[in-house]
Structure 1
Amino acid sequence: MNLDSLIEIVNRKLLESHNRPLNSTELLIFRGIWEYQTYGKIAEEGGYSAGYLTNVVAPELCKRLSDLTGQRVTKKNCRILLESYAAAQTVSVIQAQKYQFKGISLETSQEYSQRSFPYPNGAIPLDSLIYVERSSIEDQVYKEIRKPGALVRIKAPKEMGKTSLLLRIIDYAESQGYRTVSLNLEQTDQAILSDLNRFLRWLCANVTSQLQLEPQLDEYWDEDIGSKVSCSLYIKKYLLEQIDSPLVLALDEVNQIFEYPEVAKDFLPLLRSWYEEGKRLPIWQKLRLIIVHSTEIYVPLQLQQSPFNVGLPIKLTSFSLEQVQQLAQQYGINWTDEDEARQLMDLVGGHPSLVNIALYHLNRGEVSLPQLLEAAPTSTGVYFHHLQRHWVTLQEQPELASALATAIDSTQPIPLEPIIAYKLSSMGLIKLDNNQATPSCRLYQQYFQSKLLIK
């Protein structure tokens, strides 16, 4: 089977499963994989940075293809798995030619618009129609990362849009000619996170790889001066001096390091030291740091060592009524007044992921708004899998379940033990105001009230 025929089948099956077809950047990677090219070669031919393709576009593409085929797709097995998958399809490729698209617009037919939106799961791709711009925040961050030695801190509970925003920051930095590296600490092995020396070597190795440089860790690593100094020298003397443009280093899910206090107590002040060095040394001014985390830091640090009280702080909040109405329009849902949006917000409080899930199902015509609202906290509702995922976490960590039950059972905001409160806040299950906790929305209150047997 030739490549074009395979792409036709993949795009058709994506559409049939209510997902968008491959966009131009995904097609670039797809063709490169087919021709057994490296990401560096693919990036060079497409005018992208290898780090952007390797760490942003390729993982999302592999995830989409894995979801489509029901098997784990990687760069190495992609061609053989998809050839096998395409061969198993019985529908004619010729009939699928009408589904070849390079982009989607809101002006497409109603029949297609009802089928064009993927299930909202994870970061929203750059070309998506359902991204709600946070213009004031984005403009702030774009302006900040143009400053020498900048540090940006982005905080919000899970599924509030942090990674979607980060994708756009990275894309903007690329458009400015900056080099970019994006690392997600959630993908790091526990054995690495629990050992400072291994973690700092992991950090340097990954930055080196994304910058497409030859690793030289052993040339700079010296146990006599320690791993922190070795790491700083490596980044300063090797990495920053090798590149001729600013480097944006984005660290996502930094809260993962909070689980390892002994490592966090050394690593977080190290980030602060790089920021401080940028105030006096031009070489460190090339580094622009972006720190993304879900919770407040609960590792004790001296004030002058914390990276969480310097730089530009960004806190993502729930959608406003206007943003919910705007997103409904982007889904092709014509609400005549504010009442429908208010009803949805009364249930989920403007939570971006929960709003997207509701609008996705309303767009498909599977359920009416009254039906959706009534069934929402039940096993037949559109939020069942989302709620079940949280319930599994609470069952695995009974101390979180007990604290959430206390918050739900109270008619007033209550104090919780700080680490427990931060973890529940990170999950998005509670809101904190001056360390006083309340359930974050009526959906969670109703669902977990029954699960936790609260009267």
Structure 2
Amino acid sequence: MEETSRTAQIAHVLFLDIVGYSQQSTSAQARLLGRLNDAVNASPAFDASKAAGSVQPLPTGDGMALLFFGDVIAPARCALDVSRALARADAPRVRMGLHSGLVQSQMDIAGRQNVVGEGINTAQRVMDFGDEGHVLLSAQYALWLRQFDDWTPLIHALGEGEAKHGQTVQLYSLHGADVGRAKAPTRLSSPRADSGKDAPARVVTPQRVALLYRPHQDPDEKVLRTLEEQLKAVGHDVFVDNQSKISKAWALAVEEPIRRADAVIAIVSPKSMQSEMLEFEVETAHDQQAQTGKPILLPVRIGKEDVQDGVIGSIIRPLTQFAWEGPQDDPRLITELLSAIAEPLKPRATEVKLEPVGGAVPPDSPFYMRRAADHEFLQALEDTESILLVKGARQIGKTSMLAQGSKRAKELGRRVAITDFQKFNAAQMASDEAFYRLLAATLARQLGFKYDFAAEWDDIFGANLNMENFLRDLLDAGEAPLVWFMDEVDKLFTAPFASDFFGLVRSWHNSRSTEPGGPWDKLTVVVAYATEAHLFIQDLNQSPFNVGRRMELADFNLQQTVDLNGRYGGPLGSYGDVERLHGLIGGQPFLTRRALDALAGGKMDFATLLSQATRDDGPFSDHLKRLLISVSSLPHVAEYIRALLADSAPTDQDAFYRLLAAGIVRQPPGGRPAFRCELYREYLQQHQL
């Protein structure tokens, strides 16, 4: 499954807590929280947002945070409602803080979804300045609320306060006849005397911000100019590269401000992602971030299209992205970026929900990596081609690819049957009669097809024709085409009836021509195998292996490894680390996932993984031990490995094809046989096979 790019989400947060809560007894605390909950639930603003599914309450122990999405006025209305409800003398004494900022969902240690982010943190910091009865606003929320004339008279500038860790916060008060408190908070040492109605909201900790884009490309450039103006207006030091030609002087001039920036905003669109200049700039920012932790990289995605593959896509896909589809998004985008610059969202690695590594990758897994063969395979399924051949070594992802095909076939309204020949035992494959009868029975059960075997399966026809008659009736029983996935077909190659069976499959393909409009037009057979068929099939012209569409799965290339690293949250912090991992395991899919899973799960760091890679208690130990056993069990195979380790030219073809199917060696085009990856060579060398 292609991963959907993540976009940022802005929340308008109302943070409430009960003043003096910790000084109360346990029973009194429960009573006060109950009254606060009642006041919030009685709020028409909260009730309307709850009914619309646009508010998320978060308990905080001595109060709560209410995250409103979409309606900027809702938290202010809720604050007004709660203030009125708590006006009684025996009501809890409450203070409130409001702020608009970014939030994100992530898994907590117990596997539950939680919400974190600058939006919540700043709302709490704003509230912490207040005394009993205060309703305080951040500069950002005040800026939003001022857009509504009815609320403007209630907004009063207070000045700046110093929060924890020396952070300075610009504060406003919301107060009127029945909401808030006019007196300045005691924590403010020098409150402003004026209302501050027209005072611009400026950041108090200016940051160095670099804006990256493709020049002379609209709407990219219009978005850039808007961001440049607004970021400068709030006090940030903004760098914009306005050059349009690549040169050595340009590269030197642009690299330094990008590397020293605190934040880099990259404006990306389908056309701009083809720009070599933008690619260089984004790579520079990514490299610097991997080395020093800065700058934070904030991609702004123009339009509705998802991120494209490529260098830029592989870097920004794991990141939180900021969407812009038109000028109406300008205020929201500016707020989101200011929030992200003030307090960056946590890295993707903290959010990734890992999956067990081994066996087929589930069809909906974010860790399934599509390769060139996948696109050809899915298109052939859509076109209802007759025979599709999926070839690849062990643990390269054939079964996972079949699962993707099964999912797609069902989406297309096809009937789907799956036969895994690995599940057939020796007795069931002792004769063609037993084999075909079992094959037909399993198809009938999977597809809910009622077939009178006693009446229809007649010895006079023999096993082959009985199977064909069954399949013809099965195809005629429904209008929808049938896709029959056959996995682990290698097991049939040595069966006594192998040539007859594969000849039968070939005949169904031929029948599309001899019976135009017949049932065979509705049949697609998908054959997954690892071994070279010509070693076992006597006449390839009487088999499906020289007429079907053949797709051979390859190991992950370097770019696909970069992409998969991003899906795991980027545990490999630099392009160089990805290159080193790929150089060790050669993109072998199982080993790649095992390595990234170990790193993303915190089981070890990359240096430890490299140093322990070939150890019998290392991250790949089980896999390597099975490999050692498999090559040691047959003397001529072990001899072939020894010759390969000695860099001689082994000639035993049987050993070569066994090792090729097992995924231990590979045959480069026009080259000599070689180990599939450096890890295999080092491990077998250590064990002096």
How many residues align? The count is 351
One-letter amino acid of the counterpart of residue 273, structure 1: S
Distance 1:125 1:106 in 2: 24
Aligned counterparts of 1:435 and 1:198: Cα–Cα separation in 2: 44
CA positional deviation for 1:244: 1.5
Matched, 1:407 2:407: no
Residue by residue over 1:118-165, the C-alpha shift from the partner in whole angstroms, topping out at 9 and shown as x without a partner, is 23111111221211122x433322221233452110000111111111
CA distance in 1, matches of 2:352, 2:407: 27
Amino acid aligned to 1:146: E
Question: Are 1:388 and 2:653 matched, yes or no?
Answer: no
Residue in 2 aligned with 1:246? 481
Q: Could you say which residue in structure 2 is the equivalent of 1:191?
A: 427
Q: What TM-score, normalized to structure 1?
A: 0.71
Corresponding residue to 2:682 among 446, 450, 453: 446
**Which residue identity lines up with residue 559 of structure 2 in the other structure?**
E
CA distance in 2 between counterparts of 1:109 and 1:272 reads: 55
SS of equivalent to 1:288: strand
Q: 2:374 aligns with which of 130, 138, 160?
A: 138
Greater fraction of residues in helix:
1
SS of 2:380's equivalent in the other structure is: helix
Alpha-carbon contact 1:148-1:278 (below 8 Å) kept: no
Contact 1:119 1:357 in 2 (8 A): no
**Residue-by-residue CA offset, 1:41-97 (whole Å, 9 max, x unaligned):** xxxxxxxxxxxxxxxxxxxxxxxxxxxxxxxxxxxxxxxxxxxxxxxxxxxxxx999
Amino acid at match of 2:652: L
2:523 to 287, 293, 307: 287
| Residue 109 of structure 1: how far off its partner (Å) | 6.5
Instruction: Indicate which of 463, 467, 472 corresponds to 1:227.
Output: 463
Which one of the candidate residues 197, 200, 210 is aligned to 2:436? Answer: 200
Other-structure match for 1:263: 497
Q: Indicate conservation of the 8 Å contact 1:152/1:290, yes or no.
A: yes
CA distance in 2, matches of 1:185, 1:320: 30
Is contact 1:106–1:330 with CA below 8 Å preserved after alignment? no
Structure 1 residues 431 and 129: alpha-carbon distance in aligned structure 2, compared to 1, 3 A threshold: same
Q: For 1:264-300, what per-residue CA distance to the aligned partner results, in whole angstroms no more than 9, with x for missing partners?
A: 1211111111111122322111111100001211213
Give the whole-Å Cα distance in 1 for the aligned partners of 2:433 and 2:611.
Answer: 53
Displacement of 1:332: 0.4
Q: 1:127 aligns with which of 342, 361, 364?
A: 364
Partner SS state of residue 415, structure 1 = coil
The 1:423/1:114 distance shift into structure 2, 3 A limit, reads farther
Give the 3-state SS of the residue equivalent to 1:373 in structure 2.
helix
In the alignment, the residues of structure 1 paired with residue 513 and residue 467 of structure 2 have an alpha-carbon distance, to the nearest angstrom, of: 19
Match of 1:214 among 450, 464, 470: 450
> In structure 2, what is the Cα distance between the partners aligned to 1:351 and 1:97?
32
Residue among 309, 320, 329 paired with 2:566: 329
Whether the aligned pair in 1 keeps the contact of 2:388 and 2:526 (CA below 8 Å) is yes
Higher alpha-carbon deviation: 207-216 or 329-338:
329-338
Gap change, CA 1:354 and 1:112, over 3 Å in 2: closer
Among candidates 276, 296, 305, match of residue 532 of structure 2: 296
2:508 aligns with one of 271, 274, 280? 274
**Paired residues of 1:349 and 1:441 also in contact (CA < 8 A):** yes
Deviation at 1:306, TM superposition (A): 1.9
- Distance in 2 (CA, whole Å) between partners of 1:413 and 1:328 is 36
Q: 2:610 aligns with which of 340, 352, 373?
A: 373
2:658 matched to 1:423?
yes
Whether the aligned pair in 2 keeps the contact of 1:194 and 1:263 (CA below 8 Å) is no
Contact 1:120–1:357 (CA under 8 A) maintained in structure 2 = yes
- Correspondence 1:360 to 2:597: yes
The offset of 1:350, in angstroms, is 1.0
CA contact under 8 A between 2:387 and 2:524: conserved in structure 1?
yes
Q: Distance in 2 between matches of 1:148 and 1:383?
A: 40
The alpha-carbon deviation at position 315 of structure 1 amounts to 0.4
Q: Which has the higher strand share?
A: 2
Secondary structure, in 3 states, of the residue corresponding to 2:587?
coil
- Which amino acid is 1:267 matched to? F
**1:100 positional shift:** 7.3
Moved more, 220-229 or 170-179: 220-229
Secondary structure of the corresponding residue to residue 617 of structure 2: coil
Shift, 1:256, TM fit: 1.0
Amino acid at match of 1:194: A
Q: 1:19 matched to which residue of 2?
A: none
Q: 1:98 to 1:415 in 2, by over 3 A?
A: closer
1:159-174 counterparts in 2 under 5 A?
Answer: 159-174=395-410
For residues 285 and 113 of structure 1, the distance between their equivalents in structure 2, rounded to whole angstroms, comes to: 50
Name the CA distance, whole Å, in 2 between partners of 1:109 and 1:414: 53
1:390 is displaced (CA, Å) by 2.1
Q: Is the 8 A contact 2:387 2:526 kept in 1?
A: yes
Q: What's the TM-score once normalised by structure 2's chain length?
A: 0.48
| Partners of 1:178 and 1:247 within 8 A in 2 | yes
Match of 1:178 in 2: 414
Greater RCO (CA < 8 Å, at least 6 residues apart): 1
Query: Displacement, 1:421?
Result: 2.2
Unpaired segments ≥5 residues, structure 1? 1-94
Deviation by residue 1:298-345 (Cα, 9 ceiling, x = unmatched): 213223202111121100001111100110010001545421111111
CA contact (8 A) 1:416 1:437 kept: no
Which range is displaced more, 265-274 or 314-323? 265-274
Identical-pair percentage? 26
Counterpart Cα distance in 2 of 1:272 and 1:106: 49
Give secondary structure in 2 for the equivalent of 1:259: coil
CA contact (8 A) 2:631 2:638 kept: yes
Q: Contact 2:428/2:434 (CA < 8 Å) preserved in 1?
A: yes
Alignment partner, residue 112 of structure 2: 99
